[in-house]
Amino acid sequence: MAQRTLTIYDHRRELDENRYVYAVLSRRSGGVSIGINLNPDKVCNFDCIYCQVDRTTPGRYRRVDLKVLEQELRDILTRVRSGDLVGHLPFSGIPAPLRQVKDIAFSGDGEPTTYPRFKEVVELAIRARNEAGLGHLKIVVITNATMFHRPRVREALAVLDRHNGEIWAKLDAGTEEYYHLVDVTTIPFQRVLDNILEAARRRPIVIQGLFMRVHGVGPDKKEVRAFCDRLREIVVKGGKINLVQVYTVARRPAQDYVTPLSNAEVDAITEAVRQIPLPVASFYSGQE
C-alpha cells in the first residue's frame, strides 16, 4: 500500500494494487468513501474544466473485468467488517471522527452510468455489501444525470431504490451558457434538467453543485439566481430534493485557470439556496 494518508486533497483512485475499487476521504460523505471506478479508460461524456482527472494520459485499463472488480470489492468490505481497513495507512492518519466508512460510491474517472453493464454491477455491489454484513452502508451514484432516460439506467436506479441507494446528481449551472462553459459537453442542458426532474419525481435525490472562479471570476448573481430557479422548478414540478451540496474545488483541477471560491462566496450561494427554501450544506476548499 502506498505510504500516504488520505486527505480531502488527494482523491487518487488507488488502493493496494486494485484496478477498480479504491478509497477516498470525502468532504461530502463526512468520512471514508469506498469508490468503484467503472471508467478506468478515463472516457467521459463531460470534460469539466474543474475535473481532477488527467485525460491527457491514457487510463491503465481499457475495460472492466467484473470478476476482478467483485473480488476487490469483497476484499475491501471484509476489511471494513473486521475493522482492519482503517487501522493502517493510508487510513490510520485520518482524524478519528472521520475514520469510518460512510458509503460505497459509483464514481471514478468518468460517468458511471455510461457503463453498459451498470445494472449488473449495481446488483453485484449490493450483493457483496449485504453478504459482508454491511447492509447499513449507503450506495451512492455520483452522476451527471445524462443517462437517466435510458431504460437500463432507470432499471439500475430502481434496484438501488430498494437497497439503500442514493443519487447525487450534478447541477453546476443555471443557464445553458454557463453549463457549457464549466461542463464542456455536447449534451444539451435541458436533457440534464429533464433527467434530474424525472429521477427526483421517483425518489428524493441530492443535488451537487460545484462552483469556482474561472479566470479569476466566480458565477455572477444572475447565474446564481438562475441556478436557484432551476432547483425551484424541480420542486414545483414534483421533484424531491433531500439536500443541495454547494461546494468548490479542493484539488488540482484539469485547467489551471480554475481556482476555488472563497468561503464567503460559497456561503452566499448556500444562502441563496436556503431561501428557496431547500436543505443545503456548504463545503469549502480548505485553502483559507
* pLDDT for the residue numbered 92: 75
* pLDDT 10s digits, 31-81: 899 999 999 999 999 999 999 888 777 778 889 999 999 999 999 999 999
Kindly tell me if the per-residue pLDDT of 266 is higher than 50.
Answer: yes
CA distances from 61 to 47, 104, 109, 187 (A): 19, 21, 11, 26
Lowest-pLDDT range, 27-36, 105-114, 226-235? 27-36
Over residues 17-39, mean pLDDT: 91
To the question of domain 21-283 being in CATH 3.90.79.10, the answer is no
Q: Where are the domains of the chain?
A: 21-283
Over residues 255-265, mean pLDDT: 96
Kindly tell me if the per-residue pLDDT of 236 is higher than 70.
Answer: yes
Residue 235: other Cβ atoms inside 10 A: 15
Q: Is the peptide bond before 277 cis (omega within 30 degrees of 0)?
A: yes
pLDDT classification of 86: cutoffs 50, 70, 90: confident
pLDDT classification of 4: cutoffs 50, 70, 90: low
* pLDDT 10s digits, 190-203: 999 999 999 999 99
Lowest-pLDDT range, 86-95, 107-116, 122-131, 237-246? 86-95
Grid cell digits, residue 136 = 447499513
Over residues 212-222, mean pLDDT: 98
Q: Has this prediction a pTM greater than 0.75?
A: yes
